[in-house]
Homo-oligomer: A and B are copies of this chain.
Amino acid sequence: MVLRRFSSVTRPVSLTVEKFPGYNRNHRFKKLTDDDVSYFESIVGKRGYICNVDELSPYNIDWMNKFRGQSPLVLLPRNTQQISDILQYCNEQKLAVVPQGGNTSLAGGSVPIFDEIILSMRHMNRIRSFDNVSGILTADAGCILEVLDNWLAEKGYMMPLDLAAKGSCQIGGNIATNAGGLRLLRYGSLHGSVLGLEVVLPNGTVLNNMSTLRKDNTGFDLKQLFIGSEGTIGIITGVSILTPLRSKAVNVAMLGLNSFEDVQDAFKHARLELSEILSAFEFWDNQSFQIYKKHFPYKDIMTKDYPFYILIETSGSNKRHDDEKLTDYLGQMMNNGIAQDGVVAQDQKQIKDLWDVRDGLTGALGKEPAVYKYDISIPVANIWHCAQDMRHHLCMGGVFGEKDSPVTDVVAYGHIGDGNVHLNIVTKDLDTRVSDLIEPYLFEWVAKHQGSISAEHGLGVAKNEFLGYSKTPEMIELMKTLKNILDPNGILNPYKYLPQT
């Protein structure tokens, strides 16, 4: 299941400024003129920009149809120098800019709010180099994740990250948002696997740090600042990344379980028994599964429903050894009653079928009338309490549990191994009665449990004002200082990420 870039828009998407009142256009930003457009044309050429209203629409709307900006211009530069020239001009002219990768953000970070110029990276899509001994890849930031992964597959390597949006999302956007995804458990975060970046700063300066070394202790590791900066202090144009060898043997199993305690037990055993070959441990609840089955064709993988499901993937170098480890593990899970039912994929097709379920959960929810999406990190034991508490809280608030309640479901799924749960409140329509009950209640709950209000989706539009629930005033102050130094005119991805007050 690949999330396509342009989802079908079944009803008009209202403007972000209408949906989230309180935003005011920064009057210091210049409004785009014909002269500006002519100047940009001199940089990117006649075919390097879009200003036709119909064609602009997919760039102004996010793929969840939740956020809609009003940009009159999309620029499609083809190289780093063009991006440098564009930003230098925008900085001088005080024209605000939103960098856009695959536009698969779940937090509204990739679309404008007002009339910011959209700088699309889709034409920056060359693979630059690959070292077949070390596995180090360098590429333009606009390369699509799945394209890179397929390209590496032929060489026996793979990208160290994988996520449902892989068919559309770009590696530059992945890094700008510090994407987590399905392989983090095994291959770690991008802060470890990204070896170098090429970044254009808001004033047009090109910061060339395209190192292809695993170790380099020469000064502050500046590239780290841009990993997860959501396009607010620079535009990532080039990437150097360490890619792991593709495993010769991959196994995938799906289990049905009766309780979240069983899910945790299954995880603890997996870490011990599958250890170095464990490459994914995902869970979803039955509520998520029902929504998946409602929207996507589904061949019954299990004959019966269970309250919880887990998907386990192993990746190793010796099929016989891995089969033996997995068989032992699954035997234990069934014999001691931790798992109630289970299937193991027998071929590539079945592996894909099982992954399609997990990958498709987000897409299925996207087909519901409206969804409030949250992406939080908390110690594993509290993951399920969070969903249970939210259900109870919404019931008590009178918006869930009755036939005519606005909330139709509260569903949870995510990455157990990373303590990361995606909590989705499904509603018949966007409704302030519901959103006022969720926020800041959920953020307070997360802060009380030492969690993060954004595990991997980022802050974007919706969460920046709540940053104080996860970061101290001293840290927010230092973040603002850094933003002001690197982007004194505030032209890059304005109104987002950091609190505006």
Q: Which residues of A contact B (CB under 8 A)?
A: 131, 133-134, 177-178, 180, 184, 188-189, 191-193, 205-209, 211-222, 224-225, 227-229, 233, 245, 247-248, 264, 268, 271-277, 315-318, 321, 324-325, 377-381, 415, 417-420, 450-459, 463, 467, 470-472, 474-476, 478-479, 481-482, 485, 497-498
A475-B209 contact in complex given A188-B188, A317-B274, A455-B215, C-beta closer than 8 Å? yes
B377 x A459 contact (CB < 8 A): no
A442 vs chain B, min Cβ distance (A): 14
Q: Could you say which residues of chain B place their CB within 8 Å of the CB of A177?
A: 217
Q: How far is the CA of A216 from the CA of B467 in the complex (A)?
A: 11
* Known contacts A193-B188, A208-B472; A215/B273 CB under 8 A: no
**Are B420 and A467 in contact (CB-based, < 8 A)?**
no
Report the Cα distance A458→B209, complex, angstroms.
17
The closest CB in chain B to the CB of A219 belongs to B479
Q: Are B221 and A475 in contact (CB under 8 A)?
A: no
Closest 7 A/B residue pairs (Cβ) = A192-B192, A224-B224, A275-B317, A216-B452, A215-B455, A218-B470, A213-B377
Chain B residues with Cβ below 8 Å from A225 are: 220-221, 224-225
Residues in chain B near residue A451, CB distance under 8 A: 213
Judge whether B452 and A218 touch: CB under 8 Å.
Answer: yes
Interface contact B134-A377, CB-CB below 8 Å = no
Chain B residues in 8 Å Cβ range of A419: 134, 213-215
A216 touches B276 (CB 8 A): no
Show 22 A/B contacts (Cβ-Cβ < 8 Å), sorted by A.
Answer: A133-B380, A133-B381, A134-B419, A191-B191, A191-B192, A213-B377, A214-B377, A214-B419, A216-B470, A217-B452, A217-B455, A217-B456, A217-B457, A217-B459, A218-B467, A218-B470, A219-B228, A219-B475, A220-B228, A222-B478, A224-B225, A276-B316
Q: Is the CB of A229 within 8 A of B220?
A: yes
Alpha-carbon separation in the docked complex, A474 to B199 (Å): 11
* Measured CA separation A272–B132 after assembly (Å): 12
Q: Which of B193, B221, B418, B482 contacts A220 (CB 8 A)?
A: B482
- Select A476's contact among B219, B418, B470, beta carbons within 8 Å: B219
Whole-angstrom CA separation of A479 from B221 in the bound complex: 9
Q: Which residues of B contact A217 (CB under 8 A)?
A: 177-178, 180, 228, 452, 454-459
Contact pick for A272, options B218, B222, B317, CB 8 Å: B317
Contacts of A207 in B (CB 8 A): 472, 474-475, 478
**Complex contact A452–B191 (CB within 8 A):** no
- Supposing A192-B193, A215-B455, A419-B215 touch, asked if A178 and B317 sit within 8 A by C-beta, the answer is no
Contacts known (A217-B178, A276-B277); A474 close to B245, Cβ less than 8 A: no
Residues of chain B within 8 A of A248, CB atoms compared? 275
Residue of B whose beta carbon sits closest to that of A131: B379
A314 to B80: give the CA distance in the assembly, Å: 43
Beyond A133-B381, A215-B420, A218-B454, 13 extra complex contacts between A and B, CB < 8 Å:
A134-B419, A189-B192, A211-B452, A213-B378, A215-B455, A217-B455, A217-B459, A220-B229, A220-B233, A221-B227, A247-B275, A274-B317, A317-B325
Most B CB atoms within 10 A — which of A218, A272, A470, A498?
A218
Q: Which of B191, B276, B318 contacts A221 (CB 8 A)?
A: B191
A218 (CB) vs chain B CBs: closest residue: B470
The answer for the CA separation of A482 and B221 in the assembled complex, in Å, is 11
- Bound CA span A452–B417, Å: 35
Task: Report yes or no: B205 in contact with A474, Cβ–Cβ below 8 A.
Answer: yes
A452 contacts B193, CB within 8 Å?
A: no
Q: How far is the CA of A380 from the CA of B219 in the complex (A)?
A: 23
Compute how far the CA of A217 lies from the CA of B452 in the bound complex, rounded to whole angstroms. 8
Write the chain B residue with the least CB distance to A156: B272
Name the B residues within 8 Å of A454 (CB-CB): 216-218
Alpha-carbon separation in the docked complex, A174 to B214 (Å): 17
Closest chain B CB from A465 CB (angstroms): 12
